[in-house]
Amino acid sequence: MSREKDFLDGKKSALEQLTKATSAKQVDSGIQPILNIINNSDEFYTTSSCFGRIVILEIPTIGNKKEAKFLGKWHRSIELNDLLSAIKKAKEGQLWILSQSPIIHITAISDYAADKILKIAIACGFKNSGLKSIGKRIVIEILSTERLDAPIGKNGKVFCNNEHLDLLVKISNEIIEKSTLKLKKLEKKLRKGLSI
C-alpha cells in the first residue's frame, strides 16, 4: 500500500475513534477546537490528546507507571482543598504531585506537512515538540516545557506543610494557565497556517 492510502485509512479509523470518545465525553473540551482544525486539514489527523492536567499519584518507584494509583486528577486549576482531599487517601509508596502541559499526537501525510506543523507548534511556545516517527507513519508530538514532578510524601505520610502545599498549588495552576494561553495561540496560528 502507498503512504497516502495508509494515511487515508488511518485517518478514517482515527476519526471514528475520536467521534466515539467525544460522545463518551472522554475528550478534553478545552482542546476540541484545535483537534477540529487539524482534522479538517487534508494533511493531518490527530490520534490522541490531553488538555494538560494536575494529578496526585502514588507509585512504588519512579517510572513504574503500571503500578501508579491516581488519588486525584483535574483538567483545570485547583484549590488547596482539592489537593488536601486527594492526599488524605495516601497509603503506601511515594506520593507525587504532577502538573503536566498539553500533549497532542498528530499523523502527517508528508515530511513537508510535518515540518510545517512542527514549526507552528514551536513558534507558539510548545518547545518540546518533535517527530516521534518518520518511517511508514509520520507522527508529531506537540508538547510544552513547563512541568512540575514533585515527590511530597511516603507511605501515607505527607511531608509538606500547608505553606508548601500552597506553593505547589500555585505553581501547578500557573502551568495550567500558561498552557491555556499557549493553546489559544496555537488555535489561532493553526487556523491561519492550515487553511487551504
Q: Which residues share a beta bridge with 138? A: 108, 134
Inter-helix orientation angle 162-193/32-40, to 10°: 30
In one-letter notation, the amino acid at residue 70 is F
Asked whether the CA dihedral 52, 56, 61, 62 is positive or negative, the reply is positive
Query: Does 62 help bind its own copies (rule: CB under 8 A)?
Result: yes
Nearest to 115 by CA among 140, 87, 90, 91: 140
Residue 100 sits in the site that holds its own copies (CB under 8 A): no
Q: Does 73 bind its own copies (CB under 8 A)?
A: no
For the chain, how are helix, strand and coil distributed in percent, rounded to 5?
A: 45, 30, 25
- Tell me the window of 14-22, 49-57, 85-93, 144-152 that interacts with its own copies (CB under 8 A): 144-152
- The answer to whether the beta carbons of residues 28 and 51 sit under 8 Å apart is yes
- The Cα diameter of the chain in Å comes to 60
- Our CB check for its own copies shows the closer of 13 and 133 to be 133
Candidate list 174, 180, 189, 191; residue touching its own copies; CB under 8 A:
174
Among 53, 120, 141, 179, binds its own copies (CB under 8 A): 141
Q: Toward its own copies, which CB reaches closer, 58 or 141?
A: 141
Per-residue 3-state assignment (H helix, E strand, C coil) for 51-72: CCEEEEEEECCCCCHHHCEEEE
Q: Decide if residue 147 touches its own copies (CB under 8 A).
A: yes
Is 2 a binder of its own copies (CB under 8 A)?
no
Which of these segments, 36-44, 48-56, 72-80, 149-157, binds its own copies (CB under 8 A)?
A: 149-157
151 binds its own copies (CB under 8 A): yes
Residue 158 CA to its chain's centroid (Å): 27
Whichever of 147 and 184 has its CB closer to its own copies, that residue is 147
Q: Does 43 bind its own copies (CB under 8 A)?
A: no
Site size toward its own copies, by CB under 8 A: 35
**Which positions touch its own copies (CB under 8 A)?**
61-63, 94, 111, 114-115, 118, 130-135, 141, 145-152, 154, 159-161, 163-164, 167-168, 171, 174-175, 178
